[in-house]
């Protein structure tokens, strides 16, 4: 048993956070407080949120609300984003818990081994876009350049999230449970579209202490080209 425990610990270290200069992998979890299959995925997101090589985002959807418990974090915009991912991937259905990895692939969120495999698959070095984000008080500066030959229009998005929340579920499929949520998205705003033939340099206002994520993504909720976070 001790040997097995040692091997498991070694495997965990192999999947643990990479060096800070690695490009983070974005994991979007589409979840709901009214979904009985979601709590394991919500718990797993806490572990992903602790990794420096992952930017984990909980996107609560509203289509479970009719069952008996209205998710206090749910947003119709999150549901719209999940449906857009499905259309982009040629899928007819959406589901919870679903994780989208770097805007490219989807996986059932309560299957940690499959999720980690996809994260490792998408961990790479420098991408086609260099992104630099810095905050000075209530001003956020965003600078980006695209690699030679890039002629795309990318969407620059600003995300804020609450690192941890605990909710007592009183009705619905999870009635009677106290559930903890990590990195619950509270704001998701499109700042602008960027023609990558020219460098991007812009500022925007941010307030409060919530972490800031800048997400640069191909139009139509396509692959994520670059991401940066300021805590």
CA distance 36 to 119: 25
Q: Please state, for a pLDDT cut of 70, what percent of the chain lies above it.
A: 89
Of the CA atoms within 13 Å of residue 93, those in its CB half-sphere come to 4
pLDDT digits (tens, 9 = 90+) for 150-193: 788 999 999 999 999 999 999 999 999 999 999 999 999 999 99
Average pLDDT in the 65-73 region? 94
Give 146's pLDDT tier (boundaries 50, 70, 90).
very high
Backbone angles phi, psi at 105, to 5 degrees: -130, 155
Q: Is 13 in a helix, a strand, or coil?
A: helix
Closest CA to 77 of 25, 142, 28, 139: 28
Cα angle 18, 164, 171; round to 5: 130
Query: Domains along the chain?
Result: 22-230 (3.40.30.10)
> Residue 12: which residues within 8 A CB-CB, separation 6 or more?
none
Q: Please state, for a pLDDT cut of 90, what percent of the chain lies above it.
A: 83
Q: Which residue has the higher pLDDT, 147 or 93?
A: 93
Least-confidence region, from 115-129, 151-165, 213-227: 115-129
CB atoms within 10 A of CB 2: 6
> Residue 190: which residues within 8 A CB-CB, separation 6 or more?
155, 156, 157
pLDDT digits (tens, 9 = 90+) for 23-40: 899 999 999 999 999 999
Taking the model in full, what pTM does it have? Answer: 0.89
CA distance 121 to 115: 10
Helices within the chain (DSSP H only): 2-14, 39-49, 76-88, 112-122
Cα 182 off chain centre by: 11
Give 128's pLDDT tier (boundaries 50, 70, 90).
confident
């Amino acid at each position: 048993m001790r040997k097995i425990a040692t091997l498991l610990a070694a495997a965990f270290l192999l999947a643990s956070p990479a060096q800070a200069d690695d490009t983070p992998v974005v994991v979007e979890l589409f979840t709901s407080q009214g979904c009985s299959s979601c709590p394991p995925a919500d718990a797993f997101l806490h572990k992903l949120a602790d990794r420096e090589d992952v930017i984990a985002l909980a996107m609560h959807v509203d289509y479970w609300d009719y069952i008996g418990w209205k998710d206090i974090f749910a947003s119709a915009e999150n549901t719209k984003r999940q449906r857009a991912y499905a259309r982009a991937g040629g899928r007819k259905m959406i589901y919870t818990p679903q994780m989208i990895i770097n805007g490219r692939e989807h996986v059932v969120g309560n299957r940690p081994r499959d999720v980690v495999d996809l994260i490792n698959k998408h961990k790479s070095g420098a991408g086609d876009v260099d992104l630099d984000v810095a905050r000075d008080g209530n001003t956020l500066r965003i600078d980006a350049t695209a690699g030679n030959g890039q002629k795309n229009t990318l969407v620059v998005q600003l995300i804020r999230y609450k690192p941890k929340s605990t909710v007592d579920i009183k009705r619905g499929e999870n009635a009677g449970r106290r559930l903890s949520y990590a990195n619950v998205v509270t704001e998701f705003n499109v700042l602008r579209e960027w023609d990558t033939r020219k460098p991007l340099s812009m500022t925007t206002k941010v307030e409060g202490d919530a972490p800031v994520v800048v997400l640069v993504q191909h139009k139509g909720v396509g692959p994520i080209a670059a991401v940066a976070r300021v805590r």
